[in-house]
Amino acid sequence: MLVPSIFSNDLFDDFFNDNYKPAQRYVQSANSRNLMNTDIKEFEDKYELGIELPGYKKEDVTASLKDGYLTIEAERHADETLKERKGQYIRKECFTGKSQRSFYVGELVTQNDIHASFENGILTIVVPKIKEQPKVEQTNYISIE
């Protein structure tokens, strides 16, 4: 099942730009700019996440697991060689800073269960489906002396 994006990235966004709502445009731009575009595939025994991180290096990306949440963080630093160049930006769209996104994977999944790889700007994470074992009611008898 495909889920539509809540942020518009239409070809004609700039052409039909509503200049009477600058605050709304700023909030939408600030929220969607740092969003990690993610595709999630479901298989019989696992989920596969494909997260777009173009321009990032493997060293700039971390994945952590805490309380059932898989958190992906990516940080891009400003290119120092660009700072040395003369000139003034008239438009700057390239993001520098930290982005983060979390996914609930369940509390039964452990760090050792998750596999990740990074190639050509795509972070691929494989999370197994772990079914909760039904709890068997157990009666603990107390000895009577």
In a domain, 134, yes or no: no
d(C-alpha 20, C-alpha 64), whole Å: 42
d(C-alpha 120, C-alpha 52), whole Å: 9
User: What average pLDDT is seen over the chain?
Assistant: 78
In a domain, 29, yes or no: yes
Q: What angle do CA 17, 22, 23 make, to 5 degrees?
A: 135
Would the pTM of this model clear 0.85, i.e. be above it? no
SS (H, E, C) 16-39: CCCCCCHHHHHHHHHHHHCCCCEE
Cβ(47)–Cβ(124) under 8 Å? no
| Domain count across the chain | 1
In a domain, 19, yes or no: no
Please report the pLDDT score of residue 91 as a whole number.
82
In a domain, 1, yes or no: no
Point out the least confidently predicted range of 12-21, 27-36, 39-48: 12-21
Q: What CATH number did the domain enclosing 45 receive?
A: 2.60.40.790
Residue 145 confidence (pLDDT) above 70: yes
